[in-house]
Amino acid sequence: MQITSPQFKENARIALTDVGLQKALGNVKTGFPQKRANAVARLPEFDQLRDQGRDLKNHIIANLDIYLEEFEANVIKNGGHVHWCRTSEDARQTILKICQDKGAKTVTKGKSMVTEEINLNEHLEANGITPIETDLGEYILQLRGEHPSHIIAPAIHLNLEDVSETFHAHHNKPKSMDPAVLMQEAREELRARFVAADVGITGANFLVAETGSSIIVTNEGNGDLTQTLPKTHIVVTSIEKVVPTLEDMTLFLRLLARSATGQEFTVYNTLSTGPKRPEDQDGPEDYHVVLVDNGRSDMVGGELQDMLRCIRCAACMNHCPVYGAIGGHSYGWVYPGPMGSVLTPQMIGIEKAALLPNASTFCGKCESVCPVHIPLPKLMRHWRKNEFERHLTPKAARWGIKTWAFFAKRPSLYRLLSQTSNRMLRLLGGKKGRIHKLPMVSGWTDHRDMPVPSSKTFMQQWNEKQKAGH
């Protein structure tokens, strides 16, 4: 997909005035956080599970090479194949070759963000193979020629009217505004294609080293039809998804659904282990796992290592005030929200994605809901520092930071300046105590008033309280 992260500011400005998008985003803010909170409240051990999840992921990363090799050995033992792909290009070529060897014409796909990351659909199409997205949200987007704006609710930026119009344009059916009817249409349209597909491609939520299995977690059942009906099943996934045992996978399953949709458990949790057995009547004859690296191994041992714990639940974006205001497409690449602001610079380069880690108020909500305690604000700060050091920060911002640093290193000058500006701001605020317009910060005052500061600066109050013996 085309990268528009460098135009983040412009994207965000357009998003803020997009009436349809703003209406649709209302569904994120009211839906997911409340559902998650309810699910968490029903499980008293939730926070303990989060701590264990963090520790287990850290253990896995510290032994990642061993677990990956063990996983591979067990896939092979079960009659499957493992393909290691350092780059997106390696992964695209590998998958295309498997499809071509099978003479594939159509490929059904379960929901997979890694296939978005490697631009798989475009590559298959360019080589005469038709990919068919089967997750309802992804199917809607494929018809519209769009990409997901959310990692678990891909079409969350759309409203019912949009889906209704899209289906009317593509299905030979009367226009409907009933979501149940629309879903039924998609079900009927896709049924024959599930059966006809030569290859089924799914992602994986986890890979189990112990058994050589992949697991997918879906509510629709599309992933299961995708991986059961075609003769070839390709799992496209990434190296950090490996877990040691079924018990360890279970720990993450208890965290995943609750953090993501607020469900107690997702409807279908399906383990796949190798191809069909000689006596089985259905199931794929070939089972391939494509292990995508794409910059992840470089995160091991570095400042971004904690990000490898991510289980892709989307809680961080569901709770992010910035995501909630501008939606996922504004971020300009595959992964939006706080987790995207950390991952995108790693995958497409900080020079293109520098604005993303800056699109945060550092309110800390993302970290507070993360099921594996990823310090997302800290990791975004890492990128800001990196950006500054590499002189990618805009001149005005660099000048501002340098000016601030000059005063911050000279406390008495700093205090004098803050006392003076405090007085000036209060003068500007007048009796109302609010400032309507302020030069240089119109980005703020164009949209809301600036409150005047309290009558005494922090340091003045501190000194008074110290003297008073508090």
Partner 1 sequence: MSKSDILNTIRRGLGRGVPSDAERQQVLARIERHERNLIPMRAQGSEAEIQTLFIEMAKEAAAEVIELPTLQALPVAVSQWLQAANIPDLVMASDAELKSLDWSVLHPIVQHERVALAGDLASLTLAFMGIAETGTLMLYSRKESPTTLNFLPDNHLVVLKRQDIVGVYEEAWARVRNLSPGQLPRTVNMITGPSRSADIEQRLQMGAHGPRALTIFLIG
Looking at 18, 165, 198, 293, which residue binds partner 1 (CB under 8 A)?
293
Q: Does position 85 bind partner 1 by CB under 8 A?
A: yes
- Angle among Cα 202, 208, 211 to the nearest 5 degrees reads 110
Quote the CA–CA distance of 217 and 411 in Å, as a whole number.
Answer: 55
Site for partner 1 in 134-163 (CB under 8 A): 134-137, 140, 153-156, 158-160, 163
- Segment contacting partner 1 by CB under 8 A, of 37-45, 329-337, 339-347, 439-447: 37-45
Looking at 133, 146, 220, 286, which residue binds partner 1 (CB under 8 A)?
220
Q: Does position 285 bind partner 1 by CB under 8 A?
A: no
Q: Does position 67 bind partner 1 by CB under 8 A?
A: yes
Q: Which two three-digit tokens encode residue 56?
A: 């287990």
Looking at 300, 350, 425, 452, which residue binds partner 1 (CB under 8 A)?
300
Residues making up the chain, counted from first to last: 470
**Positive or negative torsion for Cα 65, 333, 357, 391:** positive
Least distance (Å) from partner 1 to the CB of residue 230? 12
Of 206, 211, 203, nearest in space to 73 by CA: 211
Q: Which two three-digit tokens encode residue 125?
A: 């199409």
- Would you say 91 and 236 are in contact if contact means Cβ atoms under 8 Å apart? yes
Q: Does position 336 bind partner 1 by CB under 8 A?
A: no
Q: Does position 48 bind partner 1 by CB under 8 A?
A: yes
Least distance (Å) from partner 1 to the CB of residue 258? 10
Site for partner 1 in 166-205 (CB under 8 A): 179-180, 182-184, 186-187, 190-192, 194-195
Least distance (Å) from partner 1 to the CB of residue 267? 5
Pairing of strands 206-208, 213-218: antiparallel
**Positive or negative torsion for Cα 239, 245, 246, 252:** negative
Q: Does position 250 bind partner 1 by CB under 8 A?
A: yes
- Angle among Cα 205, 289, 296 to the nearest 5 degrees reads 65
Looking at 4, 22, 58, 78, which residue binds partner 1 (CB under 8 A)?
78
Looking at 4, 7, 58, 63, which residue binds partner 1 (CB under 8 A)?
63
Q: How many residues bind partner 1 (CB under 8 A)?
A: 102
Quote the CA–CA distance of 251 and 269 in Å, as a whole number.
Answer: 13
Quote the CA–CA distance of 407 and 316 in Å, as a whole number.
Answer: 35
| Residue closer to partner 1, measured from CB, 66 or 441 | 66
Quote the CA–CA distance of 213 and 221 in Å, as a whole number.
Answer: 18
DSSP for 341-384?
HHHHHHHH-HHHHTTGGGS-----HHHHH-TT---HHHHHHHHH
DSSP for 62-90?
HTHHHHHHHHHHHHHHTT-EEEEESSHHH
| Residue closer to partner 1, measured from CB, 192 or 468 | 192
- Segment contacting partner 1 by CB under 8 A, of 7-15, 115-123, 223-231, 394-402: 223-231
Q: Does position 52 bind partner 1 by CB under 8 A?
A: yes
- Would you say 53 and 252 are in contact if contact means Cβ atoms under 8 Å apart? yes
Looking at 131, 274, 328, 429, which residue binds partner 1 (CB under 8 A)?
274
Looking at 283, 324, 375, 453, which residue binds partner 1 (CB under 8 A)?
283
| Residue closer to partner 1, measured from CB, 10 or 285 | 285
Looking at 224, 306, 367, 387, which residue binds partner 1 (CB under 8 A)?
224
Looking at 84, 388, 407, 414, which residue binds partner 1 (CB under 8 A)?
84
